[in-house]
Amino acid sequence: MPVQRPEPLRPRRPGRAGLPLATVLSLTLLVLAAQPSAAACDDPPPRGSAYMGVGVETHDGVDGAPVSDLAAQTEGVDVSSHQGNVAWSTLWNSGVKWAYVKATEGTYYTNPYFASQYNGSYDVGMIRGAYHFATPDTTNGATQANYFVDHGGGWSRDGKTLPGVLDIEWNPYGAACYGKTPTAMVTWIRDFLNQYKARTGRDPVIYTATNWWKQCTGNYAGFATANPLWIARYATAVGELPAGWSYYTAWQYTSSGPTVGDHNKFNGALDRVVALANG
């Protein structure tokens, strides 16, 4: 009987960089475990960090370059804590004549730069006002209107103070419509508007985007007779307006303007800005 010879030992197949395959697999698992998960990457920003137009580019897109100067339009800007200390003199010298400053969000946040931004715009000659970023999923509209008025959102007939603005748009912290049905959203907005007017005597401006308004209010038309519209659309034309409004009072047309990113056109000459301030 022939003698069976033992098979020669085969060398272990190396993995990447000459390492044994088992070692490579272990290292790969360690690397993957260290990577941030998809859920972590999609975590919402911290409460209080929202600003006008926070979701416009994402949800509405950008259509063309910012508009050029138009007849009977007055340039303005809006700012929040993201801008910090603003070069107001530079803006004034470039033709910016009015400004809105974020004062509050929900009932849990006040802009730490509000006083310096609000007074700084006034000191260079601008007509200015304050805005409130609405969070309808946290407290009711009347409560947020009171918080806004109590923390910088008031109004006075001095010819330099614009009525307050309700910034109602895509929710940066969760569901686009803050978990509300169109009917519930309209009720929330109405409560805010009514309470603001009761406190200040002025109908506040509504800042929104047409697509959000359609989605989250069912394109409700009932506020157009009393509340000026500030429309957000980053495009060469303002496009379709929400139901009820036949014209806009202000238009946020870009988030990438000079000195301060958010630039706006007031739909009228400077005397019309003064008229809005005076009520």
Which residues touch 190 (CB under 8 Å, ≥6 apart)?
A: 141, 223
**pLDDT confidence of residue 68:** 52
**pLDDT confidence of residue 55:** 73
Strands 263-266 and 74-79: antiparallel
**Options 60, 78, 105, 262, the catalytic residue:** 78
Residues in the chain: 279
Which ranges of the chain have pLDDT less than 70? 1-42, 49, 53-54, 57, 60-71
**Options 42, 43, 60, 169, the catalytic residue:** 169
Domain annotation for the chain: domains and CATH numbers: 10-37 (no CATH), 56-278 (3.20.20.80)
Which residues touch 258 (CB under 8 Å, ≥6 apart)?
A: 94
**pLDDT confidence of residue 85:** 97
Q: Identify the burial level of 10 via C-beta atoms within 10 angstroms of its C-beta, where 0-12 means exposed, 13-18 middle and 19 or more buried.
A: exposed
**pLDDT confidence of residue 45:** 83
Is residue 167 part of the annotated active site? The answer reads yes
How far apart are the C-alpha atoms of 193 and 226, rounded to whole Å?
10
Q: Which two tokens stand for residue 140?
A: 């009711």
Is residue 169 part of the annotated active site? The answer reads yes
How far apart are the C-alpha atoms of 183 and 195, rounded to whole Å?
18
What is the DSSP code (8-state) at residue 10?
A: P
- pLDDT, tens only, 41-88: 468 888 876 777 667 767 766 665 555 555 589 999 999 999 999 999
- pLDDT, tens only, 10-43: 444 444 344 455 544 454 444 444 444 333 346 8
**Options 105, 167, 203, 262, the catalytic residue:** 167
How far apart are the C-alpha atoms of 205 and 232, rounded to whole Å?
13
Is residue 63 part of the annotated active site? The answer reads no
**pLDDT confidence of residue 62:** 63
**pLDDT confidence of residue 79:** 97
